[in-house]
Amino acid sequence: NNWAKVKIIQQAVPDDLTEPLVVVDLGCSKGVDLKKWAHSKVKHVYLVDDDEEDMHECQRRFIEIDRRWPNKFKASFINKDFAYDDIKLPEKVDLVSCQFLVHRAFCSEEEATTFAKNVSRALKDGGNLIISLVNADKIKKLLFKSPNRKTYSNGVFTVELESPLSDNCPEFGIKMIFRVDDKFFPENLVQLKTLQRILKKENLELIWQRSFPELYEEARGNEEQKTLLATMGVVEDSRLLMSRPELETADLYEAVMFKKLEAKEPVISTIKSVVTLEEPESSSQTKVVQTSTVVESGDVDVEMNNEELNEENGEYIEQEDTDHKMEE
């Protein structure tokens, strides 16, 4: 999963960009992807999470990264819930990333809509949204094979719903416990068709979709990716270090990318009014008021630039986070 996140970010932030990007990291938790952003062509990252303790830890980790690689990028910290609060930034961004946490917004359609509006409000036209999540269709397929339609396990992962899966399951609020090895994660099941529908209302269109094994198949022929795969312990001597149950588990995860389309020009109809000589109609003026919004945060803003990292990938990977909710 950790390697897959690196690959997803590389897909959205290619090395040949002429200008570094401005990014929003929704559900940043303790800053588990900070080093990934440090190794990407970005100039400013807005880090958003509703957990105050996690946000303080994220700030601490950012300061450590800034000491190690001075002036790499600027970071702003926003202690808000992306599925509940309206998040307004002082600028439009190029990329929004939400890794393994979009399920937070799928308790209800209202929360999913708030998430979609926050993404659309933040993105420039042509900007991208990248998401990694558990594929609900594959989970449902496995559960329908189960006698009780409630639990399934292959020895590596176990999924358990609060109640048996129905033929006409709701789009929101399907609670599940997802266990991998000895770790468990409470989640809401996220159906991709529902995610597409909600985001389409905010002018975001699905442009790219891959399972994690598909990401691996695309990468294993690339020499640079081979090195990264070996460094991160995914392969050894070009051999995938995964059992069949582990591969089945990895196949449950999906990476998707949405693009914000250019807003269509509104159609304005002209209404002709009848004006009499006795009572001439006075013209009205529309007053445009321009406002600016300042990011509310626990603010730690540190300037960083985009100088090349001198560290080897191996050194960077050794210090990757292990306590994120879905990082394992």
Q: Is the pLDDT of residue 27 over 60?
A: yes
Instruction: Give me the domain span that covers residue 220.
Output: 2-133+190-263+292-318
Three-state SS for 125?
A: strand
Domain-embedded: residue 151? no
Q: What mean pLDDT is predicted for residues 159-176? A: 92
Quick check: is 281 in a domain?
no
Q: Are 213 and 255 in contact (CB under 8 A)?
A: no
Asked if residue 185 is part of any domain, the answer here is: no
Q: Residues 1-30: what's their mean pLDDT?
A: 93
Closest CA to 40 of 306, 221, 229: 306
Residue 237's contacts (CB-CB under 8 Å, 6 or more residues apart) are none
pLDDT at residue 3 in the model: 82
Domain count, the chain: 1
- The answer as to whether 328 is a domain residue is no
Residue 137: enclosing H or E segment and its boundaries? helix 136-145
* CATH code at position 223: 3.40.50.150
pLDDT of residue 245: 87
* Phi, psi for 54 (deg, rounded to 5): -60, -40
Q: Which residue has the higher pLDDT, 280 or 249?
A: 249
Q: Which long-range contacts (CB under 8 A, 24 or more apart) does 314-319 make?
A: 314/231, 316/35, 316/39, 317/231, 317/232, 319/35
Residue range 214-242, pLDDT digits in tens: 988 887 877 777 677 777 677 676 777 78
Asked if the structure places residue 230 within a domain, the reply is yes
Average pLDDT rounded to a whole number, residues 160-180: 91
Residue 210 lies in a domain: yes
Question: Does residue 290 or residue 177 have the better pLDDT?
Answer: 177
Section 46-70 average pLDDT: 97
Report the share of the chain in percent with pLDDT over 90: 61
pLDDT tens track for 90-148: 999 999 999 999 999 999 999 999 999 999 999 999 999 999 999 999 999 999 999 99
Residue 269 lies in a domain: no
pLDDT score at 277: 36
pLDDT at res. 263? 77
Tell me whether residue 285 is in a domain: no
The overall average pLDDT reported for the chain is 82
